[in-house]
Amino acid sequence: MDNSQIENTIIDIRKRSGAVTAFNKDKISNAIFRALAATSKADRGLADQLAENVVNKLVEQGFTSTRTPTVEDIQDIVESTLIDSGNSDIAKAYIVYRHERRKLRDQKKNVLNLKILDPVSKKFDLNCLRVLASRYLFRNGKSEIIESPTQMFERVAILVGIGDILFDSQIFDKSGNITQDIDEAKSYLEKLDAFDYKFKVGDYFFNKWHFRSLINHYVALANQGQMKISFKSVLTLLAAKKLENYADKITEYFDLMVAQDFLPNSPTMMNAGGRLGQLSACFVLGMDDGMSQIMKSTSDAALIFKSGGGVGINYSDLREEGAIVASTSGVASGPVSFMNIINTVTEVVKQGGKRRGANMGIIEAWHPDVEKFITNKTEPGVLENFNISVGIWEDFWHSLVNTDGNYVLRSPRDRKPVKEINSHQLIDLIALSAWKSAEPGLIFFDQINKYNVFAKARQGPLRATNPCGEQSLYPYESCNLGSINLVNLVKRQADGSYEFDWQRYEETIRKTTRFLDNIIDVNTYPVEEITVASKESRRIGLGVMGVADLLYKLRIAYNSKEGYELQSKLSEALTYYSMEESVALANTRGEFPLCSKTEYPEGKIPISGYYEKPKESHSYEWDPLIEKIQKHGIRNVLTTTVAPTGTLAMIADCSNGMEPAFALVFEKRVTVGRFFYTNKIVEEVLKEHDLYSDEILAKIADNYGSLKGLAEIPQWMQDTFVTAMDIHWADHLMAQSVWQDWIGNAISKTINMPYDVTVDDVKSSYLLAHELGLKGMTVYRDGSRHKQVLHMTSENATKTFEVTPSEYVSRYVADNITNPYIKSQVNASLAIKIHDEEIQIETPKIEEVSEDRLCPTCKNNLVFVEGCSMCIECGYSGCTSG
């Protein structure tokens, strides 16, 4: 019997779930090939030959088009075929592989509370599913998981697709001036239960919460006079299947997430298609100096925490501690006391019932209480639900770098001088506190507002950010974030190497810009003022993750000239195409409502790279894009942000954000001994070069998770597969800078420093950061934070190598820094220290970890990455977006 007759004879295969699918001989060959690879006999030809023998046996045993074999039938015959062909070692490997697969399936079922695995569960690895189970999948009143990962991604995709439906030409007219019966549409909000799973497009049914978003989206557009037909007519179109083509859009959004190419921020996955319906990660509230305003902000913060968001507040408008309160003749308790109130509210109101909220507390450098604020968090247990940052303006910076340092602190009430301090002493105090405890961070408000096209419309500068500092917002604004997984966007070449797929990147940016814009319309905001402000600016934050893994795949060192140039182009492409897509959306749906009041009509854009990088170095034609914005407007005031992706990166199975990997190997101690997590790309490379063994993994783990300085590892690997601790802090700043050049908002990044840096080094990092155009920064000195091991690779970790600035950074400092004070400070810190002896810096031991900084969910050690703490076991994150 020839091959075609055999394959025509067995048409189907019955899966474990009972479902029947098409028979595919290649799948048998792939399984045998994996068994061969496990015995170091990776021979594709032999695998194909053995697979053909398996098919022949199936036919001999009577399996035909009318007698369908099961998966188990086929696997049994694979085992016997391998043994009969004299490949007993391969048969053993296959049996082990089969056993491991069965064990893995059982573990997945257990984690997800499923009897049969859904398609996503089969595809995603166990760690990804654990994170989904712990934080994203819906549960019942008994806390039992009641949806599969496939169902979760479907409910998100359906909601996003609803954002497209009402812009259909049968329903929407951009020009407006159409009157509809809005009360009729609103009346459906009273009978949501009656419409649970009643309407659908394609095979996608709308649950009652999807239906609620459809109503609210309709009402918002009808209020703008843009609905051509009544809400009942929209439902008639749905029922008559006149909007079926939107099933393709829903599938597109679903596929983006399931392929792990893109994920929206955590609240979207938690709440889309659910009762809360709150999809945003970032919020900013004002805090004016009056009790009613303070209590209003506190109440709004509680509602935001309850809905799943985090809050940033600038407390600088509150009068200083000890100031006279005229209405009561008492004295003010100061901003820090009111931060404690918000901290307590955060403690008792869990986000969406799943985790505590996150806060950013900001005080500007001119505030009389700034010194107390800076030192407040150096002791454990204080403001635990806050990240804190000092806000810097031009006057402080000028005092620091151009004068003798005299600086006046002023009353928030009337800006009258309160006392004079020395700006050098203040920056020293900030540096010392950050050296000890990784806080406060710095926010450079002068840089944030340098190209702020929105200041004119909002009649003032930006003065606050979200909890992780990457998203500046005006009071009551929110932002919806999402991240593209760059490591997935590679093409394999004929020689086995990889190249980046720029065309696919452009397509993904366009789709995901539309995805995030839709989120604004289908969101259920926690406070009415947030609904208004969010829709006035339509701010979105499209970002990236998987940068370190992408560079590993391409064999490019993160901190090399080639690495920086690639990251710069990736950043420029992200903003260019997202803005171009935003213009296309404005053309069909309308510009954001305040667009005409901004500086966009004047031909200005909020992108520093356009102005500060030589035109010949630009990769894209920005001037024609600016002309398009002037002609059509733009849909979103800003489109790009690089946000923390802690748990999102775990689900996407890639490195965090644009951070370097914090370790290539780190250990997990279990009762039977040491177990190692290894970066998958590095694991593959070690295996390719016959270097993979438990002994090597232990050495890497004990070397801060780094390959540096290990005699067994070839130099090219040491140079290419760099970690956060292999990279000098100045190169961390440079990496943040090459992204910041082209990102509209800002970057969430940790500036990693080794244990032995000085306070002067920390201060120098601030000076260099400002010179590089950063909008803010967070320093993390390894071993800080109350003697806690946050950079955890191994219990025995010692660093046996010195880290020096790259030639790229050194050249930049030499060629571009002209201010004498900054140049002298930075040069002193970047001078390469020469030691005769081997450097050995021991991290504090595990037993010194303070209980209050363990993961609140699973009690494992936290790591510090992207400016916030996260757990690599369960995915808990101290930030809200990722």
**408-425: b (≥16 Cβ within 10 Å) or e:** ebbebeeeeebeebebbe
Tokens linked to 549: 């893994």
Taking residue 193's Cβ as centre, other Cβ atoms within 10 Å add up to 8
Ramachandran assignment for 709, one of left (phi > 0), alpha (psi -120 to 50 degrees), beta (any other): left
**Residue 600 three-state SS:** helix
Contact 867, 387 (CB under 8 A): yes
Q: Which entry of 359, 376, 466, 518 is annotated as an active-site residue?
A: 466
As beta bridge partners, residue 798 has: 842
Three-state DSSP class for 123?
helix
Q: What separation in angstroms does the CA of 546 have from each of 227, 253, 880?
A: 41, 20, 19
Report the candidate in 621, 592, 646, 575 with the shortest Cα–Cα distance to residue 477: 592
Look up tokens 């169902």; give the residue: 151
Does 245 qualify as catalytic in the annotation? no
Angle subtended at Cα 723 by Cα 717 and Cα 725, rounded to the nearest 5 degrees: 125
- What does each C-alpha distance from 752 to 68, 527, 601, 833 come to in angstroms? 58, 37, 41, 18
Closest Cα to residue 313, out of 340, 345, 287, 293? 287
**Which residues are 636's β-sheet partners?**
none
- Whether residue 634 contacts residue 740, with contact meaning beta carbons closer than 8 Å, is answered with no
Q: Rounded to whole angstroms, what are the CA distances from 494 to 430, 498, 499?
A: 53, 9, 11
Q: State yes or no: is 128 an active-site residue.
A: no
Phi first, then psi, for residue 607 (nearest 5°) are -125, 110
Distances (CA, A) of 109 to 88, 140, 765, 766: 31, 17, 48, 49
Query: Would you say 420 and 503 are in contact if contact means Cβ atoms under 8 Å apart?
Result: no
The angle at the Cα of 491, spanning 489 to 492, to the nearest 5 degrees, equals 140
Q: Give the number of other CB atoms < 10 A from CB of residue 146.
A: 12
Nearest to 360 by CA among 287, 279, 303: 287
Paired sense of beta strands 20-22 and 12-14, if any: antiparallel
Two tokens, residue 870: 């996260």
829 backbone dihedrals φ, ψ, rounded to 5°: -75, -35
Q: Let me know: does 527 contact 478? Beta carbons within 8 Å.
A: no
Task: Give yes or no for a cis peptide into 335 (omega within 30° of 0).
Answer: no
In the block, residue with structure tokens 């001119």: 366
Amino acid occupying residue 652: A
Buried (b) or exposed (e) across 778-789, using 16+ Cβ within 10 A?
bbbbbbbbbebb
Report the distance separating Cα 666 and Cα 652, nearest Å: 19
4 CB burial (10 A radius; 0-12, 13-18, 19+): exposed
Which amino acid, residue 855?
C
User: 3-state DSSP call for residue 665?
Assistant: strand
Question: Cβ(677)–Cβ(666) under 8 Å?
Answer: yes
Q: Is 154 a catalytic residue?
A: no
Set 87, 154, 216, 468: catalytic member: 468
DSSP 189: G
Tokens of 703: 């070397």
* Among 154, 364, 470, 591, the one annotated catalytic: 470
Tell me how far apart the alpha carbons of residues 580 and 634 are, in angstroms, rounded to a whole number. Answer: 8
3-state percent helix, strand, coil for the chain, nearest multiple of 5: 45, 15, 40
Side chain identity at 719, as an amino acid letter?
A: D
Among all residues, which ones are annotated catalytic? 466, 468, 470
